[in-house]
Amino acid sequence: MIEDDFYATVKLKTGEEIFAKVAPSDENGETLLLITNPVTVSEVRTRNGTGYKLEQWLKTSKEDIFILNMDDVLTLSESKNIQMISMYQSYIRNTGDFNDSPGIRRKINRKMGYISNINDAKEILEKLFNNS
C-alpha cells in the first residue's frame, strides 16, 4: 500500500543528505521509501549572498525512482518550504529527463547564473585572493 507522496529531506546513515519526492510503502510489514528524482543540495556562497546548487544524487544511474529501506535512513524531514520545493521542481523541469546522456550539452543562458569570460573571471579571482 502506497501512502500519499510528499517532499522531504532524507539523511542516510552513510551521511548523505538528499531531497526528493518521497512515498512510503508498507511491504510485508517493512516500511520502504520510494524516492523520485533524488538530488543533493549544496550551499554556494557568492558575492551576492548564499545560494543552492542541486545535483542528481546518483550520477551514473539512468533511473529516476529508487527504493530505500528505512533501516538505512537516519532521519526524514517533510519539507513544506515552498522555495526549496519550487527550486527542486524547476531543476527537474529544466534538466528534462534524468536519462539525458552526459554528452548532450544545454545552451548556456543568464538564468543559469553569472556568465563571464576567462579574463574577467581571472581578474575577479585574483582580487579575491589578494584581499584574503
Q: Is 128 helix (H, G, I), strand (E, B) or coil?
A: helix
What is the average pLDDT score of the chain?
83
* Cβ-based neighbours of 117, under 8 Å, separated by 6 or more: none
Evaluate if residue 109 carries a pLDDT over 80.
no
Full-prediction pTM beyond 0.75? no
Which grid cell is 58? Answer: 546518483
Give the pLDDT score at 39: 95
For residues 75, 19, 65, 53, the Cα torsion angle rounded to the nearest 10 degrees is -150
Map out the domains of the chain with their CATH numbers: 6-106 (2.30.30.100)
